[in-house]
Copies of this chain bind each other. A is one copy, B any other.
Amino acid sequence: MINLTVWNEDGCAQNEEVAKVYPDGINAYLAEMFGAESDMNVTKACLDDPECGLPDEVLENTDVLIWWGHCKHERVPDELVAKIHDRVLRGMGLIVLHSGHYSKIFKSLMGTTCSLSWRDGDRERLWNIAPNHQITQGIGDNIVLDVEEMYGERFDIPEPDETIFLGWFSGGEVFRSGCCWNRGLGKVFYFQPGHESNPTYKNKDIQTVLKNAVRWAAPYSIRKEPIDAPHVPVSPEEEYAKSKA
């Protein structure tokens, strides 16, 4: 069972435009979608909840955290970001969606600005360049999104450990739309589609990708102890010599 926490800076539809697509907001929609999976135990959390929806008892029981943020990145307290960052390095999976590229947590895990170029209202074609990967099982060689916000290179990220999707946009741009990194003991997946007023998350292939990603990011275990720099006064070779004596 994967304890999945779905975080969004909004707990409901931000405005009418969004409400037309996701009447109860993106978070409710995603939570319900994941909740239908028998191996996922879903918790919703949002910025305006007490402790931003991520008090210790929630965060410390989260195996995979999904993060969708847009214009309120600065309102996430640095102390919470540090806790999330630490838990990723101890094994928690993190999936960052769309405008979450500019979230504090994604930027601190990447070490770069995570900037990009953007424009509303393009047509997108997501090309699957890793068809043997867990994240792409069950989809074909590309996914068309009739309307999606263009995100264009240069995407200021460290080179991904694995690049899963390359996005094509009708206006002429391309983007590394699906990228995986290892950070410490944790796994991070950035997935570019998901502008709030586009019905992207209703797309069956997109849903398949998201569910696969949660399972990919789920850790075998999460380390309890802090990751420190141990002093090893007796060398392994000394220990070995003693054991043979």
Contacts and interface: CB of A to CB of B under 8 A. Distances in A.
Contacts of A111: 85, 108-111, 158, 183
A34 to B, nearest CB: 21
Interface stretch (A10-18, A41-49, A191-199, A230-238): A230-238
Nearest to A177: B174
Contacts of A142: 236
A182 B111 CA distance: 10
A229 interface: yes
A152 interface: yes
Contacts of A156: 89, 184, 227
A50 interface: no
Contacts of A220: 132, 134, 137
Contact of A171 (B123, B176, B237): B237
A96 B74 CA distance: 30
Contacts of A154: 127-129, 131, 141
Interface bracket on A? 35 or more
A189 B224 CA distance: 30
Given A128-B154, A153-B166, A236-B173, A115 B182 contact: no
B129 A172 contact: no
A15 B137 CA distance: 45
A148 interface: no
Nearest to A219: B132
Interface string A130-149: 11101001000110100000
B236 A171 contact: yes
Contacts of A172: 125, 168, 235-237, 240
A144 B240 contact: yes
A184 B113 contact: yes
20 contacts: A102-B229, A108-B108, A111-B111, A111-B158, A111-B183, A112-B183, A117-B231, A118-B232, A119-B231, A119-B235, A125-B236, A127-B174, A132-B186, A134-B220, A152-B232, A158-B158, A168-B168, A171-B232, A171-B236, A171-B237
